[in-house]
Structure 1
Amino acid sequence: MTLLRRNSSVKSILEMAKTAGIIIIGDEILKGHTQDTNSFFLSKLLHTSGLVVKRTTIIGDDIDEIAHEMRVFAEKYDYVFTSGGIGPTHDDKTFDAAAVAFNEKLCPNETMVGLCKKYFGEGPMDSPKMKMALIPESAVLHFGVDPNSGESYKYPLVAIRNMFMFPGIPTLLEKQAKSLIHLFESNDEFAVERLLIKEGEIAIADVLRSCQDKFSASGVSVGSYPDITNNYYKVKVIIESKHSDASQAAKEYIVNSLPQKAVVEHYVENPVTLQGDDVYRCPRFPTNLRNKVDKSIDIIKESLGRYKMHQLCVAFNGGKDCTALLHLVYAVLCKELKESPNSMSCLYIKYVNPFEEIENFMEKSVTTYRLDLISVEGKVKEALKTLKSDRPQITGIFMGTRSTDPYSSNLESFSPTDPGWPDYMRINPLLEWTYHDVWEFVRILSLPYCMLYDLGYTSLGGRENTKKNEKLKYINENKVVSYRPAYTLQDEKFERNGRL
């Protein structure tokens, strides 16, 4: 009897929520010529609007196949959303398929005819200029409104019955969907709780299964999503229901069932969105680190008084020190410029045989911080000569150097390059920082860093001169040799123990 009541309860809750299906149309998607982003956008938008997306399908430019999917989806789900196949060419077949799906004729729509004439010019109804004016006879038009100007968008969303046919161009689809969300917005809301777990899925599988069994009668759904590249957690757990009390209770059950400190706290998904507030106002910095951060901020601010932005660049090679430096400079620029900096110049002196993990991290960092990457391969001195030739306007370089680094004990916050080297001012905001300061700063702020540091490397160079640090080596519970993360190194004098 308990099992029957549980299943009945879950079913009734699911039936109460409005459902949706998404059909992505286009041979170019199936052939890999174009990457689909529309299904991701629609799924996220619809979910936050209270709809349950039950299915997404991708099909080619075949009228009968499209029509079949439209009929099935329209009968099965409360709302259907299509993307693609709308345009003036022979392979734009969405309207034709909709007419077939619902046994209707394609007819010239007066409003659409006027729009086609306005933007494409006069032409017969069977011409490409008028193709988008032919829509199923019962179709209706919905014009979205630009939230900034208050004016209607030029092209309408065409709908028939419970199906909305969006263009395949992502920018157009997103504008229309956001402006017309009221057409299919549900009154239902999902109470969502999130947990970030340091353990892998195998270690938490029994707890999650137990939670699902315990709370399924309340309509709770528990999902786990592994992330093998994140520096702070291994699994993201999403707990959802239509009742906040049920979601919260399930979350507490999982937390109490896991080992202490298994759940990540104070995690920030994307620190750059804080635009420097994390650096300037973080309440979790210890006093000693807070003082060093403030002094580093003052050095960066002083450099902005000495140099124009176009005269400065950040030395960044994907290492831990310059990861901290990059975020510090970004934070100060956000505060001083009162907006996110655009195209901050960044010098990457690339090893001849770099780690793939470093290259991947560099690529992500360029996107995250919107860097103007200047990539030069070879020795430091030769790289600076190349920089001087290619970017003569740059005269100051922010460095992630610490006084404990080789040949750095006599450096000052502002130190010109040595005689015989290209003429630059080396700006050193981190001179007084220690190895542990860097890691404390990086991890308190949830800054992404190169994943090699989680695999036992403590100092990064090229493949030919870098190995894992033996001081982090241990035998795990399965009697397999493993390495602890770099931030767990106790004695920082062994930081470069892995450099050859």
Structure 2
Amino acid sequence: MFAWKNFVVSSSGHRKQVTRIFSTSANKENMMKTAGIIIIGDEILKGQTQDTNSFYLATTLHRLGVSVKKISVIGDDLNTIASEVKQLSSSFDFVLTSGGIGPTHDDVTFEGVARAFDETIAPHPTLVSLCQKYFGRLTENSPEMKLACLPQSAVLHFGTDTLNGEKFKFPLVSTRNVFIFPGIPVLLRRLIDNLHHLFASDASFHAAVLRVNALETEIAETLSSCTNRFKDSDVTIGSYPDWFNNYYKVKVIVESPNEESTQHAVSYLQSNLTEGKLVADYIENPVSLRGRDVFGGIIKEKFPLLHQKVLHSVQILEEAFQRYPKNAICIGFNGGKDCTALLHIYYAVMCRLYPDSQDKLGALYIKDLHPFEELEAFMEDSVDRYNLDINTLNGAMKAALRHLHQERPEIKAVVMGTRCGDPYSSGLTSFTACDKDWPPFMRVNPLLNWTYHDIWTFLRALNLPYCVLYDRGYTSLGSRDKTSRNSKLAYKGNGGNVRYAPAYTLQNEDMERNGRL
């Protein structure tokens, strides 16, 4: 088992400190088993298919207390398969292969494994029966019978489906310590999920995660010092930079087979890393809270005035859903800071009004002709994060809305992240119909009384992801050719180079659009 202090949000939205325990296996030390993984397929080496099986196998084995020492990717070559299997089989407790099982000429994994152990392949009676039952009457040389030809020492492992209790129709084949998985991800996952007892270990990993808001170069010396200090305790320290996270720059994972060693190493890092650089109270996935952070929690506790504005925005959205059915409303979302805050509130309201709904959230993206690549990447992430059904339209807003009206006539209202301080917005109300020469949409404006600082307080207090450009000196985003960093955030770095502070540090919010050309 492994454990360390973490923070969770209770059902009321309040953060509290808990000790989160992750169980990997029985807690016996110095019994660590090892494994090698072989991914087989020319299509992987040619980039024609993306491998996900090695990730899933490694994750599962690690959870079971098995240390993966090597992952190989090789082609559909008989001799290469035999050589790799033989080498890994003699080096590790388990070898797991994926791919190369099938009826065609390039499916040679069974034969390769057999050759690794100086065996031949032959029809296995159980698999012959299964193939004939599935494919019908077969001749000995039919392609389907290739699936039934196994190494002489092969063992069949039939798992049981945990959902319905039925025995699997196809087995996992093993020869000695080599377990031969199919390359189809859904079949591989089903097999290892239901046969994980074959790889159970008496050892375990004890891991802790530290998030550091500093560059790797700034903490490298401390990490090296910690590694040397605990080198005799089997402590490993992994440092993983994240260029796109808004709250930390490096994730540090401390791990050991010994829980006490892990705790001592973590304490050392906490004491020696630069003060203020460790990120506490971080919530990895705010969307998973389904709005509890919006209706209560830290905003209510620490920012009562902003909390009242949040509740007012919620009331406006709830009124919109009273006026219109949910399929008649979509949210305008272009990846900017305002609509990012609004999207999270919109999602929270949807979760409260329709808790059992599996429908995607309707969204409208009016795309600039020259968008930032970072903004496009954030848009893609947000679509996945909030399960958006997004309509992407190009060009000016008026033309885009006209196109939306023609293509999606059922949409009657668009929720927008407009604030009163935005250009041409001082006369708007919570519900404002478009002008007569515009398409007949109702504009719903829940954020009119929010300020620039309100937006940033809300986003950062809830650990909401936002476009990384805001951390690089941009305070208002438009087309790439008409947007620059805000000069009010410029400062001289240690080497005399000009650097830019994040958008949330801007003091004078009247300068928000400084940088829009």
* 1:167-178 paired onto structure 2 within 5 Å: 167-178=182-193
String of CA shifts for 1:8-41, please: whole Å, max 9, x gaps.
xxxxx99631000000000000000000000011
* 1:39-438 paired onto structure 2 within 5 Å: 39-285=54-300, 286-339=303-356, 341-438=358-455
Contact between 1:99 and 1:106, CA under 8 Å: does it hold in 2?
Answer: yes
Contact between 1:122 and 1:129, CA under 8 Å: does it hold in 2?
Answer: no
Q: Structure 2 CA distance, aligned partners of 1:134 and 1:281?
A: 61
Query: Which residue in the other structure is 1:7 paired with?
Result: none
How many Å apart are 1:342 and its aligned residue?
2.9
Q: Structure 2 CA distance, aligned partners of 1:281 and 1:17?
A: 45
Pick aligned residue for 2:459 from 428, 442, 458 = 442
Work out the number of aligned pairs and report it: 488
Contact between 1:18 and 1:51, CA under 8 Å: does it hold in 2?
Answer: yes
Pick aligned residue for 1:26 from 27, 34, 41 = 41
Q: Structure 2 CA distance, aligned partners of 1:444 and 1:125?
A: 67
Contact between 1:453 and 1:485, CA under 8 Å: does it hold in 2?
Answer: yes
Matched letter for residue 45 of structure 2: L
Query: Which residue in the other structure is 2:501 paired with?
Result: 484
How many Å apart are 1:339 and its aligned residue?
3.7
Matched letter for residue 322 of structure 1: C
Contact between 1:334 and 1:341, CA under 8 Å: does it hold in 2?
Answer: no
Query: Which residue in the other structure is 2:12 paired with?
Result: none
Contact between 2:486 and 2:515, CA under 8 Å: does it hold in 1?
Answer: yes
String of CA shifts for 1:57-103, please: whole Å, max 9, x gaps.
00000011101111111110001100000111111111111111112
User: Runs of 5+ in structure 1 lacking a partner?
Assistant: 1-12
Mean alpha-carbon deviation: is it higher for 226-235 or for 451-460?
226-235
Q: Structure 1 CA distance, aligned partners of 2:387 and 2:296?
A: 23
User: TM-score normalized by structure 2?
Assistant: 0.92
Mean alpha-carbon deviation: is it higher for 106-115 or for 63-72?
106-115
Q: Structure 2 CA distance, aligned partners of 1:368 and 1:114?
A: 46
Q: Secondary structure at the match of 2:51?
A: coil
User: Runs of 5+ in structure 2 lacking a partner?
Assistant: 1-27
How many Å apart are 1:359 and its aligned residue?
1.2
How many Å apart are 1:217 and its aligned residue?
2.0
Contact between 2:227 and 2:236, CA under 8 Å: does it hold in 1?
Answer: yes
Pick aligned residue for 2:472 from 446, 455, 462 = 455
Q: Structure 1 CA distance, aligned partners of 2:262 and 2:352?
A: 38
How many Å apart are 1:191 and its aligned residue?
0.8
Q: Secondary structure at the match of 2:222?
A: helix
Query: Which residue in the other structure is 2:484 paired with?
Result: 467
Contact between 1:157 and 1:176, CA under 8 Å: does it hold in 2?
Answer: yes
Q: Structure 1 CA distance, aligned partners of 2:515 and 2:358?
A: 36
Going from structure 1 to structure 2, the CA distance change for 1:76 and 1:14 (only over 3 Å counts) comes to farther
String of CA shifts for 1:234-272, please: whole Å, max 9, x gaps.
111000012222212211211111122101122222222
Q: Secondary structure at the match of 1:16?
A: coil
How many Å apart are 1:340 and its aligned residue?
6.1
How many Å apart are 1:127 and its aligned residue?
1.2
String of CA shifts for 1:343-386, please: whole Å, max 9, x gaps.
21111111111111111111121122221121111111111111
Q: Structure 2 CA distance, aligned partners of 1:272 and 1:175?
A: 28
Q: Secondary structure at the match of 1:150?
A: coil
String of CA shifts for 1:397-456, please: whole Å, max 9, x gaps.
110111111121222211111221111111111112111111111112221111111110
Q: Secondary structure at the match of 1:289?
A: helix
Q: Structure 1 CA distance, aligned partners of 2:357 and 2:141?
A: 50
Contact between 1:121 and 1:129, CA under 8 Å: does it hold in 2?
Answer: no
Going from structure 1 to structure 2, the CA distance change for 1:484 and 1:340 (only over 3 Å counts) comes to farther
String of CA shifts for 1:105-157, please: whole Å, max 9, x gaps.
21211221121112222211221111111111211111122221111222111
How many Å apart are 1:166 and its aligned residue?
0.5
String of CA shifts for 1:188-229, please: whole Å, max 9, x gaps.
111110011111111000100111111222221111011112
Matched letter for residue 416 of structure 1: A
Q: Structure 2 CA distance, aligned partners of 1:340 and 1:77?
A: 47
Q: Secondary structure at the match of 2:512?
A: helix
Mean alpha-carbon deviation: is it higher for 384-393 or for 367-376?
367-376
Contact between 2:419 and 2:450, CA under 8 Å: does it hold in 1?
Answer: yes
User: TM-score normalized by structure 1?
Assistant: 0.95
Q: Structure 2 CA distance, aligned partners of 1:297 and 1:22?
A: 50
**Percent same amino acid among aligned pairs?**
52
Query: Which residue in the other structure is 1:8 paired with?
Result: none
Q: Structure 2 CA distance, aligned partners of 1:382 and 1:328?
A: 28
Contact between 2:331 and 2:414, CA under 8 Å: does it hold in 1?
Answer: yes
Matched letter for residue 477 of structure 1: N
Contact between 2:29 and 2:257, CA under 8 Å: does it hold in 1?
Answer: no
Contact between 2:31 and 2:202, CA under 8 Å: does it hold in 1?
Answer: no
Q: Structure 2 CA distance, aligned partners of 1:277 and 1:233?
A: 23
Which segments of structure 1 move beyond 6 Å, counting only runs of 4 or more? Answer: none
Contact between 1:311 and 1:393, CA under 8 Å: does it hold in 2?
Answer: yes
Q: Structure 2 CA distance, aligned partners of 1:432 and 1:118?
A: 69
Q: Structure 2 CA distance, aligned partners of 1:284 and 1:345?
A: 27
Matched letter for residue 146 of structure 1: D
String of CA shifts for 1:157-181, please: whole Å, max 9, x gaps.
1111111111001111111111111
Matched letter for residue 413 of structure 1: S
Mean alpha-carbon deviation: is it higher for 114-123 or for 37-46?
114-123
Matched letter for residue 456 of structure 2: W
Matched letter for residue 376 of structure 1: L
String of CA shifts for 1:449-475, please: whole Å, max 9, x gaps.
111111100000002221110110000
Contact between 2:299 and 2:458, CA under 8 Å: does it hold in 1?
Answer: no
